[in-house]
Amino acid sequence: MKFYPYKRLNRPITLRVISASLKLPDGTRDHLDTSAYSIPQRTVALGVAQHEDWVSARIGLSATLPPGATDPDGPWNDLRVLAVLTDGDTNVRTTVDLRQDAPDSKEWSGEIEVFRDDHVGRAALAAYAVATIDDVPGRSITETDGDWTVDVSAEEPLGGLRLDVKQASFSKSAREWLRPYADVPWVVDASGRLPLVMINTDIEGFSDLLGGESGGTENKVHELLISQMATDVWTAVFHSAVGDLEIEPDGTPVFPTDWRGEVLRELLPDVVPGLRVEEALRQVHRRRTGDAGWVELQTRVHYAAVRRAGASKALANVLRALQQMNREDSA
């Protein structure tokens, strides 16, 4: 634990990556989609577009300061918010100032440039709020409580949504709530500390197939099943998150602080594209609690879940495996 001889904020900065693009040797820029970064995993994978010769990456950032940071009666002045990228392997450190979105706003945003020649693997990205206190400039009053990872070569940022996965016979389970679902392969319960996925062992061979140990075509089917399961999970946890929001007195929905908040920040850019996640959440809340628009939004929710689950890639792998089998059979 660190001790400071001056007053600090007791809550951290929330840092989010909101965009990423690559500058290519010919001067053009490839704007990466949201699959290049994961808010729950706090990871940016700059290899997702499979450009081996990119020159630099521009990463868009959004930082939310905790309450009290911009209080005009606070014990500090000259407040600045800095984004800092640190690479321990190459000893490169890049610092940029973020801009306050509006006077007295807790929201700050900006971009940081990552030069390919400066990095060989992973770099750590953090944010710091610094101010002048007791006539001493540059004192840190709060920072992020966990770094983002910027990986210059990784093609996949998602380690997967943290889940509690259990197997049981639905028809014989001591969990009575499972028994009505005895004819389905899995169910998702998003009401607990972590999302729970229950696998139904009553379906013969299903658990073995999910193990993915067979190789060949069966392994591709395993990937497809996992992606379908993940689609269901992402959809369920999104609806759980938006269905249990804390609402401020002025009607503004508040991001949850647990996994539900992570899910919302991950999916909202695809559910309501083109908006900051705070405004996207307000729009989703209005549609869910209002008279219109919620049903129409379900296509976007499903689209976001399918993308996060990697269903298209899994389906393409199965189709290629089947085509290969057909060619071998006809040879």
Three-state secondary structure readout of the chain: CCCCCCCCCCCCEEEEEEEEEEECCCCCEEEECHHHEECCCCEEECCCCCCCCCCEEEEEEEEECCCCCCCCCCCCEEEEEEEEEEECCCCEEEEEECEECCCCCCEEEEEEEEEHHHCCCEEEEEEEEEEEECCEEEEEEEEECCCEEEECCCCCCCCCCCCEEEEECCCCCCCHHHHHHCCCCEEEECCCCCCEEEEECCCCCHHHHHHCCCCHHHHHHHHHHHHHHHHHHHHHHHHHHHCCCEECCCCCEECCCCHHHHHHHHHHHHHCCCCCHHHHHHHHHHHHHCCCCHHHHHHHHHHHHHHHHCHHHHHHHHHHHHHHHHHHHHC
pLDDT on residue 163? 65
**Whole-model pTM?**
0.54
Q: Which pLDDT score, from 0 to 100, does residue 162 have?
A: 60
Q: Specify the pLDDT at position 309.
A: 77
pLDDT at 307: 84
pLDDT of residue 86: 93
Convert the pLDDT of each residue in 22-66 to its tens digit.
999 999 999 988 778 877 678 898 887 788 789 999 999 999 998
pLDDT of residue 158: 47
Locate tokens 């840190």: which residue? Answer: 140
- What is the reported pLDDT for 217? 63
The position carrying tokens 């940022």 is 157
Low-confidence ranges of the chain (pLDDT < 50): 1, 158-160, 213-214
Would you state the pLDDT for residue 218?
64
Quote the CA–CA distance of 72 and 75 in Å, as a whole number: 9
pLDDT of residue 194: 73
pLDDT score recorded for residue 54: 92
- Report the C-alpha gap between 172 and 202 in whole angstroms: 9
The per-residue pLDDT for 3 is 62
pLDDT of residue 312: 77
Q: How far apart are CA 135 and CA 156, in angstroms?
A: 46
